[in-house]
Amino acid sequence: MSNTFFKDYFKFMQGGMNSVNHNDLITAAEKIQAISQMGNKLIIAGNGGSAAMASHVSVDFTKAAGIRAINFNEADLLTCFSNDYGYEQVFEKAVEFYGDERDLLILISSSGSSANVLNAAKRAKELNMGVITFSGFNSNNPLRQLGDINFWVDSKAYNIVEMTHHIWLLAIVDYIIGDIEYTAS
């Protein structure tokens, strides 16, 4: 490995982070705040690293930003729904059981092609829920076509895509809080 690996890596990462449209971040934050003010909730879902991210940011939205948020990462829910409906329907069925009209669903998929995530987006639309997507890889991935707001990272590297999504999501949390740097309480 060359001694420029990390310099190049962080330069590429910074390019991904800076590629976001700031107005889209503001619009997403406003949509999240609006559903909260109406008494609705934010639902966040993804697979693998995106599932871990969904757990992390749902807690931050709830605790730090005061937005009621849930995710679908409980082992009993995932295994029950997968067993009963198939993994391709796991999030679709969770949205059906836990989602309410005018809730907002954030779906995270690096590839933008995960069947269970796509099915959840379609079901949310049928239930009159808003959908915000976070994807990467190909610019014309199917998930990017299903959201009201669609965030996309121009990379095929999982870690770059996932970390960029994570930073964008946490930036939205901090925007809602209204502070860049604050202490935990």
Domain boundaries, the chain: 5-177
- Structure confidence at residue 166 (pLDDT): 97
Beta strands in the chain (DSSP E): 42-46, 69-71, 104-109, 130-135, 149-152
> What is the rounded distance in angstroms from the CA atom of residue 58 to the CA atom of residue 60?
5
Mean pLDDT, residues 15-28:
95
Over residues 49-105, the pLDDT tens digits come to: 999 999 999 999 999 999 999 999 999 999 999 999 999 999 999 999 999 999 999
- Residue 179's φ and ψ, nearest 5 degrees, are -145, 140
CATH number of 5-177: 3.40.50.10490
* Other Cβ atoms within 10 Å of 138 Cβ, number: 14
Over residues 159-177, the pLDDT tens digits come to: 999 999 999 999 999 999 9
Averaged pLDDT score across all residues of the chain: 95
- Structure confidence at residue 181 (pLDDT): 72
C-alpha torsion angle, residues 163, 21, 28, 11 (rounded to 10): 10
What angle (nearest 5°) sits at the alpha carbon of residue 115, between those of residues 84 and 103? Answer: 80
- What pLDDT band is residue 1 in, cutting at 50, 70 and 90? low
Reply yes or no on whether the pLDDT at 183 is more than 90: no
- Structure confidence at residue 157 (pLDDT): 93
Over residues 32-64, the pLDDT tens digits come to: 999 999 999 999 999 999 999 999 999 999 999
Mean pLDDT, residues 135-140:
97
- What pLDDT band is residue 5 in, cutting at 50, 70 and 90? very high
Mean pLDDT, residues 114-121:
98
CA 102 vs. chain centroid, Å, equals 17
Mean pLDDT, residues 105-111:
98
Over residues 11-21, the pLDDT tens digits come to: 989 998 999 99
